[in-house]
Structure 1
């Protein structure tokens, strides 16, 4: 792990090869151009603001947890957060992780609105909200025996931890005794450079260095992504959401290269996802459809699950199992079951356009 002792803008760029430096320069220019465009269209109408922020929020909750192995699907995440519907057969812990992450986003939003500085106290409070309460996880003793250990919540790690690389290797993180001092170094570096280097470089470097220190027993990846977006939001940007689909192909390999002192791929990854979020925001402002094909597929899957959940209690559903396809269709549209389908499809259509999650409008939060 490369734990810095004072990385600055010049150091970051001096280590970039010519090709990647050009790519990052172009990416920063694109980000700045989009930022100027966004500033000219703010504030958005309340319904538009809620629609785009619902997408960001759901994507952020789902993907950040999925990267860490959470088994809830996008549709299940959405149903749980918006309607309180738990996913059948999925672990309680997965639901609690989603709930804690959503509460952590609320916490960050309030911090941006109130312009609260990043501090160790704030990060510990955020960790408490994210993980909710202490819990046990599987572990291995020094002699290789399986065991269980308690995860400390809201305070720095009490036992050594490690990061598992994409190849399955375990990389030891910073020793316990050095963690508080290195977290102080990280915050001091941030405060020194927050007005000196581009927000993309600031947020990406902070993200990586936090992961390298790995200050908490658990939740370090989610914490790093939350704090990265807090830095971006403090600078007037929308959140950069790393999709789970890039976990193995881009995210973990970029972190591994950063461990060897090469941050370029990691900066490019964060920048690409920031651009994607900014382009979605601009599309929403123009009244364009921001629902992606994946979003529609996920919502239709949710519709299917809703209908399946009610089949057991619906005598019509059982009755039509013995009918031919043609008879079933006729019976379907002559029954109350059709009303339920129309009702559920109306909800799906509405949710493609309008948010029912209560959010503080971003125009009241971002500078």
Structure 2
């Protein structure tokens, strides 16, 4: 059965805006993603998602764990981060429409943190906010067919993927299939759903904006619960995705100085490269500007120049 929601003018406007931005990102940005920037975005995503759940580790500590360095902190928080690092490093291995893959992701994400990692809960759950019961999840015996219905919607419905990813996120949160880790799984699986059509979502840290608008995130979930459909949550999440893409494009389109360009290029440059390679990254600059940049990089001692004229090669120091 198709989950209930309405397609509002705001949803249509946001879908159009996101589609335009994805096109711009694919044309101008995707090929410029340096390993360093991808790593930074992964760190931001892990930090933001776990921070929402109360994890206390900083981005610096998460960086240290990625680099296999020792970190002092609560053992539970460290294990949460190590598990998340493992999952986010293997995002491409998950299949968005596979329930088996979904359960495997939960097993990896919650390994060593809960007894039933990778398994649906077997008892009832109430979510309490303050002194009030905010949400009563469906009975445990209903979970198998509720989740099968949800994955059937992912596989068969003709709705566009941007909307389907939001619907899945909300419905999974409503069903609350696990004893723990539901929030993490909702955000993770929305990323998995989106990136299998739009690769940019592998390193778009939209969870950072969710973290910054956490009250709005929970309010959108609560208001959708009250309304009995996910419309408001879809509007919220599409707004977050649209703003995240805008931030990415603003970063990419900012006015760069020669030092900015040189520093950015060197982070992901091959050992040897030509002026043409440099201009392929910064398509808006002239050949004269590229030559001046590379001359400065030689003067700074960052690269060495070999050969002359059309045979010129540059080598990283």
Runs of at least 5 residues in structure 2 that lack an aligned partner in the other structure:
257-262, 269-317
Once the two structures are superposed, residues 3-29 of structure 1 have per-residue CA deviations (whole angstroms, 9 ceiling, x without a partner) of xx3137xx522xxxxxxx332222222
Once the two structures are superposed, residues 234-254 of structure 1 have per-residue CA deviations (whole angstroms, 9 ceiling, x without a partner) of 12142432432322x201110
Which of 77, 85, 97 is residue 102 of structure 1 equivalent to?
85
Cα 1:44–1:133 shift into 2, 3 Å: same
Once the two structures are superposed, residues 297-355 of structure 1 have per-residue CA deviations (whole angstroms, 9 ceiling, x without a partner) of xxxxxxxxxxxxxxxxxxxxxxxxxxxxxxxxxxxxxxxxxxxxxxxxxxxxx89x958
CA offset at residue 227 of structure 1? Answer: 0.4
Distance in 1 (alpha carbons) for counterparts of 2:136 and 2:44: 31
Conservation of the 8 A alpha-carbon contact between 1:200 and 1:270: no
- Aligned to 2:213, the other structure's residue is in SS state helix
Match in the other structure for 1:123: 102
CA offset at residue 92 of structure 1? Answer: 0.5
Cα 1:224–1:22 shift into 2, 3 Å: same
The TM-score normalised by the length of structure 2 is 0.72
Distance in 1 (alpha carbons) for counterparts of 2:129 and 2:92: 32
Cα 1:244–1:40 shift into 2, 3 Å: closer
The TM-score normalised by the length of structure 1 is 0.63
Match in the other structure for 1:76: 61
Conservation of the 8 A alpha-carbon contact between 1:166 and 1:252: no
Match in the other structure for 2:273: none
Which aligned pairs between 1:268-287 and structure 2 lie closer than 5 A? 268-283=235-250, 285-286=252-253
Distance in 1 (alpha carbons) for counterparts of 2:54 and 2:222: 19
Cα 1:156–1:268 shift into 2, 3 Å: same
Conservation of the 8 A alpha-carbon contact between 2:105 and 2:118: yes
CA offset at residue 117 of structure 1? Answer: 4.9
Match in the other structure for 2:49: 64
Consecutive aligned runs of 4 or more in structure 1 exceeding 6 Å deviation: none
CA offset at residue 170 of structure 1? Answer: 4.7
Match in the other structure for 2:148: 184
Matched, 1:209 2:194: no
Distance in 2 (alpha carbons) for counterparts of 1:103 and 1:178: 31
Distance in 1 (alpha carbons) for counterparts of 2:144 and 2:250: 43
Which of 17, 21, 24 is residue 30 of structure 1 equivalent to?
17
CA offset at residue 166 of structure 1? Answer: 6.9
CA offset at residue 152 of structure 1? Answer: 0.9
Conservation of the 8 A alpha-carbon contact between 2:210 and 2:217: no
- Aligned to 2:14, the other structure's residue is in SS state helix
CA offset at residue 65 of structure 1? Answer: 0.5
Matched, 1:200 2:183: no
Conservation of the 8 A alpha-carbon contact between 1:52 and 1:284: no
Match in the other structure for 2:133: 169
- Aligned to 1:95, the other structure's residue is in SS state helix
- Aligned to 1:164, the other structure's residue is in SS state strand
Distance in 1 (alpha carbons) for counterparts of 2:37 and 2:161: 22
Cα 1:91–1:244 shift into 2, 3 Å: same
CA offset at residue 280 of structure 1? Answer: 3.8
CA offset at residue 213 of structure 1? Answer: 1.0
Once the two structures are superposed, residues 219-245 of structure 1 have per-residue CA deviations (whole angstroms, 9 ceiling, x without a partner) of 111011100111111121424324323
Cα 1:168–1:354 shift into 2, 3 Å: farther
Cα 1:226–1:93 shift into 2, 3 Å: same
Distance in 1 (alpha carbons) for counterparts of 2:2 and 2:177: 18
Match in the other structure for 1:251: 217
Conservation of the 8 A alpha-carbon contact between 2:96 and 2:102: no
Conservation of the 8 A alpha-carbon contact between 2:122 and 2:141: no
CA offset at residue 269 of structure 1? Answer: 2.3
CA offset at residue 156 of structure 1? Answer: 1.1
